[in-house]
Amino acid sequence: PPTEPMLFYYLGWIRTQAGDTAGAAEAFERAVQMAPDYCFPNESECVLALQAASAHNPADARAPYYLGNFWYAHRRYAEAIACWERAATLDPTFPTVQRNLGVAYVNKRGDLARGRQCYAKALTLDPTDARILFEADQLDKKMGLPPAQRLATLTAHAGLVAQRLDAV
């Protein structure tokens, strides 16, 4: 069976255009149920499909998340942040959107404190993600946190540190 959420977002969009409301609802619901891992929409038509999905189901947190990924990749940072903020509001348990907001707040808005809050929430939501820990530590370094404090955090997550060669 297909595992690419965008396939079903496109199908829902096409069915919406064809007036098949029930078919669109079914396709959009299948898209929401799929794992968001490694889904990076990059075609311009994904904007219309994801906007149609959001209009059809305003509670869908994945559509604005994916749309945020598209906007960020296309250097439309304000739009990306707005989409990710909406996704985070709709699904406050999704660690990747918190991580993405952390990146954007730090790199595009220069808001280190807010970025650090997002990284902390992301790590709380997924304490097994070594990338989040690594990036959070890099931010702590940038913010001038004392090395002893950083070391204590890394030591507390020694298993995650061991997963990344660039963290040792």
> Over 2-57, what HEC string results?
CCCHHHHHHHHHHHHHCCCHHHHHHHHHHHHHCCCCCCCCCCCHHHHHHHHHHHHC
Please give the model's pTM, rounded to 2 decimal places: 0.92
DSSP secondary-structure letter at 43? Answer: S
| 103-111 mean pLDDT | 98
DSSP secondary-structure letter at 57? Answer: -
What's the mean pLDDT when you consider all of the chain?
A: 94
User: What does the pLDDT read at residue 165?
Assistant: 65
Percent of the chain at pLDDT > 70 equals 97
Confidence band (pLDDT; 50, 70, 90) for 3? confident
User: What does the pLDDT read at residue 163?
Assistant: 87
Residues 6+ positions from 11 with CB-CB distance below 8 Å: 27
Assess whether pLDDT exceeds 90 at residue 10.
Answer: yes
Confidence band (pLDDT; 50, 70, 90) for 164? confident
Assess whether pLDDT exceeds 90 at residue 166.
Answer: no
Assess whether pLDDT exceeds 80 at residue 78.
Answer: yes
